[in-house]
Structure 1
């Protein structure tokens, strides 16, 4: 059983791991830390939002990152921000190279035990769903924006699981996820998507509806 002091120490270690492997984007500050599950793996889910107070809250701009409870792995991160909107995506080969280089820092334990399955751009008007779906956010005026990037789909051979690196403009990383299980029949992930605001808000609304029906 973890004591409060132990949990505080683990959170401190997790924050240091984030700084070392991902780095919190400039202009963002800490908002919350939740303890959730990535399938069977307990994880810390950190959320950071803009220091200037613009477009905050679920559904707005954010940088979210998950770390396993043992503080050995970055399980994923997502940066939904205006810098990831509009034209200027890298080409497929550049995205592929950026993703391979990023894995050496984000997931050094993986080594060469992965395969690149395909590279696709996220699109404001996607045709291949869910692979080309963009990441939406709403600004303070209620206008929706769509963040896009080049998704490099990965298969991790040792864990027999899926993941991806999403590369944005200028080679900036938009997202990374690892050890995601996929429901082929439903054509969607089965691993909880705690880094994705639409998923979190759907879970919250379902819980609220269930409470109201009691």
Structure 2
């Protein structure tokens, strides 16, 4: 059985309002209808869509994304809106994964801002895969380290106090524009290890702005790859849903 997916309906004045339809669990044989895109790039029709009551637990969890971003000093640009919210797990923690786009429907591989938030409002993941981000260059290692740790000390000081730097290196991701052309989002990845044995990293651009943030990530040394789920990454989600190949390490097993 697949997790439930909440599909939003509107945005007001640039402030996202979570919406009105829930894609309930369906048999695995129907997996391609959840997020698969056909050869023409047109989303396939979704099934089993039913109303979601306003104020429901699912809706409240999705709205928490906005509060968590504000606490981190991050935001969703005006004109963007939530196109999908899904109930998943980050290790053994229930989380809500909210995806924002410029349009009204998910476009895997395209521009998106995605958050992963647990039931207590903890921001476990954030990424800004946008064409605007693709215009920035990567900073120096020293500048990236300074920016990443300064941001975490403001946002999550108790968590940051338990972190020790592992390494800093350039990190590139790809995002497709509306024509399907690939664009590169470049930054410097600042990877750190927490006293609890889990990993945290921040990817910052040339201006020191956060592109990606993930925390409480477990590494599978025997497999040479990440063990924790990868809800910020479209390639991994596609593999998990049967719509793409398993990405090579260090991607987690889908």
Normalised TM-score (structure 2): 0.68
Q: Which sections of structure 2, spanning at least 5 residues, go unmatched?
A: 1-52, 245-254
Match of residue 49, structure 1, among 98, 101, 114: 101
How far 1:206 moved relative to its partner? 5.6
Q: Per the alignment, do residues 206 and 49 of structure 1 end up closer, same or farther by CA in structure 2, a change over 3 Å counting?
A: closer
Q: Per the alignment, do residues 26 and 94 of structure 1 end up closer, same or farther by CA in structure 2, a change over 3 Å counting?
A: farther
Give yes or no for the alignment of 1:137 onto 2:175. yes
Match of residue 28, structure 1, among 70, 75, 80: 80
Match of residue 204, structure 2, among 159, 164, 167: 167
**Paired residue for 1:83?**
132
How far 1:5 moved relative to its partner? 3.2
Alignment partners' CA distance in 2, 1:183 and 1:65: 23
Answer yes or no: is the 8 Å Cα contact 2:136–2:185 preserved in 1: no
**Paired residue for 2:157?**
108
How far 1:94 moved relative to its partner? 0.8
How far 1:109 moved relative to its partner? 3.4
Match of residue 186, structure 2, among 114, 138, 148: 148
How far 1:169 moved relative to its partner? 2.3
Partner-residue secondary structure (3-state), 2:242: helix
Alignment partners' CA distance in 2, 1:39 and 1:31: 24
Give the structure with the higher percent helix. Answer: 1
**Paired residue for 1:212?**
none
**Paired residue for 1:211?**
none
Answer yes or no: is the 8 Å Cα contact 1:45–1:65 preserved in 2: yes
Q: Greater CA deviation, 135-144 or 95-104?
A: 135-144
**Paired residue for 1:200?**
237
Superposition RMSD on alpha carbons, in Å? Answer: 2.4
1:3-42 superposed matches below 5 A: 5-21=56-72, 22-42=74-94
- How big is each residue's C-alpha offset from its partner over 1:112-168, in whole Å with a ceiling of 9 and x where there is no partner? 11001110012xxxxxxxxxxx222222222122212100011011x2101200001
Q: Per the alignment, do residues 184 and 90 of structure 1 end up closer, same or farther by CA in structure 2, a change over 3 Å counting?
A: same
Query: RCO (CA 8 Å, sep 6+): is it higher in 1 or 2?
Result: 1
Alignment partners' CA distance in 2, 1:178 and 1:61: 22
How many residues are matched? 190
Answer yes or no: is the 8 Å Cα contact 2:111–2:175 preserved in 1: yes
Q: Greater CA deviation, 73-82 or 103-112?
A: 103-112
Q: Which sections of structure 1, spanning at least 5 residues, go unmatched?
A: 123-133, 208-214
**Paired residue for 1:129?**
none
Partner-residue secondary structure (3-state), 1:13: helix
